[in-house]
Chains A and B, each alone.
Chain A
Amino acid sequence: MPVITFGYEDLLSLFGRDMDIKEFAEKIPMIGVSVEKIEGNEVSIEVFPNRPDLLSVEGMARAMRAFFGIESGLKRYEVEPPEISLTVDKSVRDVRPYVVAGVVKNVEMTDELIASLMEMQEKLHLSVGKGRKKMAIGVHDFDKVTPPFVYRAVKPDEISFVPLAMEERMNLAEILARHEKGIAYAHILNNFEKYPVILDRNGEVLSFPPIINGQLTALNEQTKNIFIDVTGTDRTAITTALTIVATALAERGGILQQVEVVDDEPVATPDLSPQHNELHIPYVQKLLHLQDGESICEALQKMGHHTIVTGDTIMVESPVWRPDILHPVDLIEDIAIGYGYEVFEEELPHAMTFGSSLHPDRLHQIMIGLGFNEVVTLSLSNPEKEFEKMGIDAGETVELSNPISVEHTIVKRSLLPSLLEILSKNRHNDLPQRIYEIGDVVIFEKGNVLQKTMLSGMKIDAKASFTECKSFVEALVKNLGFTMDVREEHHPSFIEGRCASVLINGTKAGYFGELTPQVICNFDLEHPVIAFEIDLSALFSPHEK
Chain B
Amino acid sequence: MMEALSPWEKKLLLALAEHEGTVTPEEVDMELVKTMNASSWLQSKGLVECSDSYSYSFQLSKEGETFLRDGLPEKNLLHGLERERIRTIEERLGKKEAKIAIGWAKRKGWCDIVVENGEKFLIITDKGKRERNQTQPEEEVLAKIKNKQYDVDEKMLQMLLKRGAVKKLKGNLTRKITLTEEGWKVVRKGITLDEEVSQLTAELIKRYAQRGELPKLRKYDVTAFAPSVYPGKLHPLTQLIEKIRKVFSEMGFAEIKGSYLEPCFWNMDALFIPQDHPARDMQDTFYCKKPATMKVDGKLIDAIARVHENGGATGSIGWRYNFDRSEAERVLLRTHSTVNTIRYLYHHPSPPAKVFSIERVFRRENIDSTHLPEFHQIEGIVHEEGASFSMLKGLLKEFYARMGFTQIRFRPSYFPYTEPSLEIEIQWNGRWIELGGAGIFRPEVTIPFGVEEPVLAWGLGLERMAMIVLGLSDIRMLYFSDLQWLNELPLL
Contacts and interface: CB of A to CB of B under 8 A. Distances in A.
The answer to whether A and B assemble together is yes
Interface of A: 29-32, 48-51, 130, 134, 234, 236, 286-289, 326-330, 332-333, 336-337, 341-342, 344-359, 364, 367-380, 396-405, 407-408, 411, 421-422, 425-426, 429-430, 433-435, 440, 442, 449, 451, 542
Contacts of A375: 235, 481, 483, 486
Contacts of B318: 326
Given A349-B391, A359-B242, A402-B364, A374 B413 contact: no
Contacts of B6: none
B317 interface: yes
Nearest to A421: B480
Nearest to B285: A402
10 contacts: A32-B411, A289-B390, A327-B316, A329-B442, A346-B390, A346-B397, A357-B248, A378-B372, A379-B360, A425-B480
Q: Which 4 A-B residue pairings sit nearest by Cβ, starting from the closest?
A: A351-B352, A355-B249, A346-B394, A32-B412
Given A373-B486, A379-B374, A449-B261, A326 B319 contact: yes
Contact of B388 (A130, A287, A400, A405): A287
Contact of A376 (B351, B390, B478): B478
B390 A344 contact: yes
Given A373-B487, A379-B360, A400 B390 contact: no
Interface in B206-231: 230-231
Given A353-B354, A368-B234, A400 B411 contact: no
A6 to B, nearest CB: 20
B276 interface: yes
B190 interface: no
A422 B481 contact: yes
Given A349-B354, A349-B395, A451-B260, A378 B374 contact: yes
B139 interface: no
B292 interface: yes
Contact of B398 (A348, A358, A372, A425): A348
A31 B365 CA distance: 30
B443 to A, nearest CB: 6
B238 A332 contact: no
Interface in B381-435: 382, 384-391, 393-395, 397-398, 409-414, 419-422
B186 to A, nearest CB: 36
A326 B423 CA distance: 21
Contacts of B398: 348
Interface string B321-356: 100000000000100000000000000000111100
Contacts of A330: 419
Nearest to A339: B389
Contacts of A286: 386, 388, 454
B232 A373 contact: yes
B483 A433 contact: yes
Contacts of A364: 234, 238
A368 B233 contact: yes
Interface stretch (B60-68, B118-126, B171-179, B250-258): B250-258
A347 B387 CA distance: 10
Given A353-B353, A374-B234, A451-B259, A236 B389 contact: no
Contacts of A403: 286
B384 A408 contact: no
Interface of B: 230-235, 237-238, 241-242, 245-246, 248-257, 259-261, 276, 278, 282, 286-292, 294, 311, 314-321, 333, 351-354, 360, 362, 364-367, 372-374, 382, 384-391, 393-395, 397-398, 409-414, 419-422, 440, 442-444, 454, 478-484, 486-487
B293 to A, nearest CB: 11
A134 B277 CA distance: 12
A364 B397 CA distance: 30
Contact of B317 (A326, A430, A451): A326
B362 A380 contact: yes
B235 A374 contact: yes
A13 B315 CA distance: 41
Contacts of A398: 261, 288, 290-291
Given A349-B382, A373-B483, A411 B354 contact: no
Contacts of A451: 259-261
B302 to A, nearest CB: 20
B276 A134 contact: yes
A344 B389 contact: yes
B290 A399 contact: yes
A376 to B, nearest CB: 5
A375 B480 CA distance: 8
Contacts of B482: 425-426, 429
A31 B237 CA distance: 35
Nearest to B238: A374
Contact of A400 (B232, B288, B314, B360): B288
A402 B233 CA distance: 37
A490 B317 CA distance: 61
Contacts of A408: 373
A429 B228 CA distance: 14
A411 B232 contact: no
A93 to B, nearest CB: 15
A404 B231 contact: no
Given A333-B419, A356-B254, A358-B255, A380 B351 contact: no
A341 B254 contact: no
A524 to B, nearest CB: 15
Contacts of A374: 232-235, 238
A357 B245 contact: yes
Contacts of A429: 482-484
Given A369-B232, A399-B288, A341 B412 contact: yes
Contact of B394 (A326, A348, A358): A348
Give the interface centre of A354, A357, A371, A374 by most chain B CB atoms within 10 Å: A357
A401 B287 contact: yes
Nearest to A423: B483
Contact of B414 (A49, A328, A357, A377): A49
B99 to A, nearest CB: 41
Nearest to A236: B320
A5 to B, nearest CB: 20
A376 B238 contact: yes
B326 to A, nearest CB: 15
B424 to A, nearest CB: 11
Contact of A333 (B256, B394, B412): B412
A234 B364 contact: no
A415 B482 CA distance: 18
A130 B276 contact: yes
Nearest to B365: A404
A435 to B, nearest CB: 7
Given A401-B288, A429-B482, A326 B316 contact: yes
Among B235, B257, B420, the one with the most A-chain Cβ atoms within 10 Å of its Cβ is B420
Given A287-B388, A376-B478, A401-B288, A356 B255 contact: yes
B409 A342 contact: yes
Given A344-B389, A440-B260, A542-B257, 10 more contacts: A134-B276, A287-B388, A287-B420, A327-B442, A333-B419, A337-B412, A358-B245, A375-B486, A400-B289, A430-B484
B444 A355 contact: no
B234 A378 contact: no
Nearest to A329: B419
A287 B389 contact: yes
B289 A399 contact: yes
Nearest to B442: A329
Contacts of B282: 402
Contacts of B484: 426, 429-430
Nearest to A130: B276
A49 B440 CA distance: 18
B481 to A, nearest CB: 6
Nearest to A439: B360
Nearest to B439: A333
A424 to B, nearest CB: 10
Contact of B255 (A327, A357, A368): A357
Nearest to B396: A346
